[in-house]
Structure 1
Amino acid sequence: MNHQFLTSLRAFIFSAALVHADKASSPLNFVFFIADDISYEDLGCYGHPTIKTPHIDRLASNGMRFNNAYLTSSSCSPSRCSIITGRYPHNTGAAELHTTLPENPSLFPLLLKDAGYYTALSGKHHMGKSANIAFSKISRGKGAGLEEDWVSILQNRPKNIPFFCWYASSDAHRDWAIRPGTPTYQPEDVIVPPYMVNGPETRRDLAGYYHEISRFDHYIGLVVEELERQNVLENTVIIVMADNGRPFPRCKTRLYDSGIKTPFIIHYPKGTKTGVSSSLISSIDVSATVLDLAKVPKSERIQGVSLTPIMKNPKATVRDLVFAEHNWHVYRSHERLVRMGDWLYIRNNVPDQQNLCVEAYIGGAGKELKAAHQAGTLTKAQMNIFQNPCPEEELYHVGKDPEQLTNLADNPENETILKTMRKQLKIWTEQTGDTLPKNLKPSRGSKEARNKKTKSEMPGASSGAQQINHPGPIRVQP
């Protein structure tokens, strides 16, 4: 039997099982909400004192909130490509901003579709045409945040088969689009992080960001209301997360928690113990979890692990380590992260330059930061994006230093943990085929970028990482 025949046979068997299941064992539905540029701490259920997110908060209070959920990239398209394939960015072939998935990728919604699910994507795509095969319906979305057709998709779905909806908001991506109907905020309402300038322009900038978070929450509320109206809420698993952190200096694209850590909520009261989990999880675990809950076999291409043990017991662990990447996103970069226990380690393989992101100089926050730098009034924390060169290694105790402001890599007392983190990163690099290209893609606007003869290489390309399925260390390796 050839592979194509076996795949078709498996799809037929699972499709038949799903379609003919009775109500007592009816398959689960899934609604996956992914925000655009929202940091983990910027929701009410994560303790933010100002931002109003009552609908997400309600899902969290009746489900499980994960306090240590890490993305594999803090950059839009690489993060989304990683989530939908369950693979690290350098293993997808789409490790950099605006790169698209190659042909015939492994896509977990496609496995659901082949198993008889109706699959729909609405809103921000950003993964390339190769991802289209995973969805029965694709919509660009409607409205300022691309959320206005979410309810109608549910209303018009086929009623005799289970469904999976990938709802991708463009909130809270710049530029801000203030619309009536959801909360607005005043500059005095905002909380300014210590690495930004506490000035009027920054405060106005953050107020616009807050509004878009509340709009994302508003449409989630409408979807939940529709699920209740259709009497399918109790049989629907809802996941809420973001693709990367807030679009502000030292957040988006960076590997600090403000950029790489995502809010992550699972609502499925029948199958999830209500509570809060501090267990480490990765965004590549979404794929394995959904397939596990749907009782659809996981592809060998998926590097993530299922979170169902944690859903049953918030204190359970499925991994000791999470890893993340910072590759090209307008600016040349090659950084890698390891989080283990309370320790976070970052390795910068191109420290001979500023570590910038698109938002470094734009918007009110970026402009005030740049002006303060020129005036020589920045604090040490605010100087971060202007460092040149940058430290090759950074080590933080996230429990004592949640903003990662004090680098402990040079402290001799931390030599043992530093060696452990280096070793785990080395093992992951080798097992997953990560590479430091000889010719990294240059920063946009640079002399290298203007030279049309300049050739660049994708991380993992020289090792054939697209064909490597090893997940790297899940547990700490000796």
Structure 2
Amino acid sequence: MDTMQQKFVLSLFFSLTCLATAVAEEKPRPNFIFFITDDISSEDVGTYGGPVPTPNLDQLAATGMTFENAYVTASSCSPSRCSILTSRYPHNTGAPELHTPLPRDQWKFPGRLRREGYYTVLSGKNHMTYDGKSDDESRLVDAFDQIYPGGKPSGSKDWIDILNNRPNDQPFFCLFASHDAHRDWQFTENAPPFLLKDVVVPPYLCDGPMTRRDFLGYYHEVARTDFYLGLLLEELKKQGIDQHTYVIFTSDNGKPFPRAKTRLYDSGAKVPLVISGPGIAAGKRSKSLVSLIDIGPTVLELANVSIPKQFQGVSLVPTLSDPELTVRDYVFAEHNWHTYPANERMVRFADWVYIRNHNHQDQNLCAESADKFPAGKELWDAEANGLLEPQQRDIFLQPRPFEEFYNVQSDPNQFNNLVDSPECAAILEELRDVMDAWCEQTGDTIPSRPTTAIGHITPEKRGELPGVSADASHLLNAGPIRRTVKR
């Protein structure tokens, strides 16, 4: 090749490189729809083999990835939502208890998108700014361009209008927050009715007529979330933007029934998580452990936005292209005051779940455990008449074990406490150490004056929050993520 030919080849290579760069730069930034439901356990969703058909979620799963082991950091509405938004554990957000407002100085991942030119919207259930008197939305103005109530019962009244009326010269992030499936049940034409024979009663509840009727309302609202997901997917296709829009479907905590919501068993802390969008392995299922604080870093990486050092979650992007890849070995969750006093901590590793209960002298209750609700009443009536099986008496235990240890592969309902099993002693001791390390590194503390009031309370009745004495809301350490100990 002579000199002229070399110059021509180099010139052509340079031109093609510039063209490829220009095309890459012109590629539109992806959009995001983050659809979060209220009070839905993964075990009830059709996509996870549950009793409620979810054809639209099935459709989303067919084009994306289904995570089989996704956990909230708190099975409690507002602490979970604040945690997701900030990618921090509840005691690190400054809002670890129900109805505690998210402090203004906490970084929120939609705010990072907004500063990078995204149009950001929250519509539907908020529950992150509650101060006991009013919703002070100024706490979220740095994160969202617009905040809409969404309307009840589902919270989805304006979602399609938002997609139609968004600025066309900006990518968007829409946090669509459903009120379903939260008590009290409200029936509409946007979901099918269910029959008593359709109900699958978990073995930790009474399988009686009141409980079965109670589940009919829950199933209806779970199905309604799927209906509105279908409308969103249809609108994305109608606008021709479905191919460069990521859709994330999840829930803030487990179902609102005794031994589920607020609790750290899988019935309360394990939630559906399906992510679909460009570049995601379609129709795959991942057994990788996932914490919902990983959503923020994942969205930011997909949007090519830097992840703040304040975030304690890790990006799921590697797993989105290969379901066999993992980004963490541990997930952690906490149970703080939620209408009843509580201080529980949980870590899951592989098939093992370790729970530590610092409030073990009391019954482990939530509002939905009360006899004002049908499933709760049936439990209390059966307890009074001595008719409960051992696994149905969980909410009546007083005192409770200080430690609980389960293998969720062999014991998915977490009935068989293995704390005293000699065969499990080594892994139990390891997870005790992991829990200690997480508490120390993230500044988790046991309040010296905890919140002890029962029911809805005013700010004046709230006690010291977990983590306050260690200034946990300003600590950056994420605690253990990968296993380093080999036994």
TM-score range, shorter chain: over 0.9
Question: In structure 2, which of residues 374, 399, 404 is the aligned counterpart of residue 394 of structure 1?
Answer: 404
Tell me by how many angstroms 1:143 deviates.
3.6
The amino acid that maps onto 2:402 is E
User: In structure 2, what is the Cα distance between the partners aligned to 1:65 and 1:289?
Assistant: 15
Tell me by how many angstroms 1:206 deviates.
0.4
**Structure 2 counterpart of 1:35:** 37
User: In structure 2, what is the Cα distance between the partners aligned to 1:356 and 1:204?
Assistant: 22
SS, match of residue 279 in structure 1? strand
- Aligned residue runs from structure 1 range 16-415, under 5 A: 25-48=27-50, 50-128=51-129, 129=137, 130-361=139-370, 362-415=372-425
The amino acid that maps onto 1:182 is A
User: In structure 1, what is the Cα distance between the partners aligned to 2:430 and 2:152?
Assistant: 48
**Structure 1 counterpart of 2:436:** 426
- What root-mean-square deviation, in Å, do the aligned CA atoms of Structure 1 and Structure 2 show? 1.7
User: In structure 2, what is the Cα distance between the partners aligned to 1:313 and 1:383?
Assistant: 42
The amino acid that maps onto 1:322 is V
> 1:62-98: per-residue Cα shift (whole Å, max 9, x none)?
1100000011000000000000000000000000000
User: In structure 2, what is the Cα distance between the partners aligned to 1:461 and 1:272?
Assistant: 42
1:353/1:389 contact within 8 Å kept:
yes
Tell me by how many angstroms 1:412 deviates.
1.7
1:273/1:314 contact within 8 Å kept:
no
> 1:85-112: per-residue Cα shift (whole Å, max 9, x none)?
0000000000000001112220000000
User: In structure 1, what is the Cα distance between the partners aligned to 2:23 and 2:213?
Assistant: 53
The aligned length equals 455
Tell me by how many angstroms 1:443 deviates.
3.4
**Structure 2 counterpart of 1:442:** 452
For structure 1, which segment, 93-102 or 272-281, has the greater mean C-alpha deviation from structure 2 after superposition?
272-281
Where does the alignment leave 5 or more consecutive residues of structure 2 unmatched? 1-21, 130-136
Give the structure with higher Rg (CA).
2
**Structure 2 counterpart of 1:16:** none
Tell me by how many angstroms 1:182 deviates.
1.5
> 1:341-389: per-residue Cα shift (whole Å, max 9, x none)?
0000000011111010110023210110110011110111110000000
Tell me by how many angstroms 1:114 deviates.
0.4
User: In structure 1, what is the Cα distance between the partners aligned to 2:49 and 2:455?
Assistant: 40
> 1:272-300: per-residue Cα shift (whole Å, max 9, x none)?
34300000010100000000000000111
Tell me by how many angstroms 1:181 deviates.
3.1
2:246/2:277 contact within 8 Å kept:
yes
Tell me by how many angstroms 1:132 deviates.
3.2
1:66/1:277 contact within 8 Å kept:
yes
SS, match of residue 264 in structure 1? strand
For structure 1, which segment, 416-425 or 23-32, has the greater mean C-alpha deviation from structure 2 after superposition?
23-32
**Structure 2 counterpart of 1:5:** none
SS, match of residue 188 in structure 1? helix
**Structure 2 counterpart of 1:474:** 481
Q: Which runs of 4+ in 1 moved over 4 A?
A: 20-24, 452-455
User: In structure 1, what is the Cα distance between the partners aligned to 2:165 and 2:395?
Assistant: 48
The amino acid that maps onto 1:47 is G
User: In structure 2, what is the Cα distance between the partners aligned to 1:440 and 1:265?
Assistant: 36
Identity score, percent:
50
TM-score (norm 1): 0.93
User: In structure 1, what is the Cα distance between the partners aligned to 2:215 and 2:448?
Assistant: 39
SS, match of residue 408 in structure 1? coil
The amino acid that maps onto 1:472 is G
2:355/2:405 contact within 8 Å kept:
yes
Tell me by how many angstroms 1:269 deviates.
4.5
Tell me by how many angstroms 1:187 deviates.
1.4
> 1:182-209: per-residue Cα shift (whole Å, max 9, x none)?
2110111100000100001100000110
> 1:185-237: per-residue Cα shift (whole Å, max 9, x none)?
01111000001000011000001100001111101100110000000001000
> 1:103-154: per-residue Cα shift (whole Å, max 9, x none)?
2220000000000000010000011131232111110002411112111100
**Structure 2 counterpart of 1:464:** 471
Where does the alignment leave 5 or more consecutive residues of structure 1 unmatched? 1-19
User: In structure 2, what is the Cα distance between the partners aligned to 1:131 and 1:320?
Assistant: 32
TM-score (norm 2): 0.91
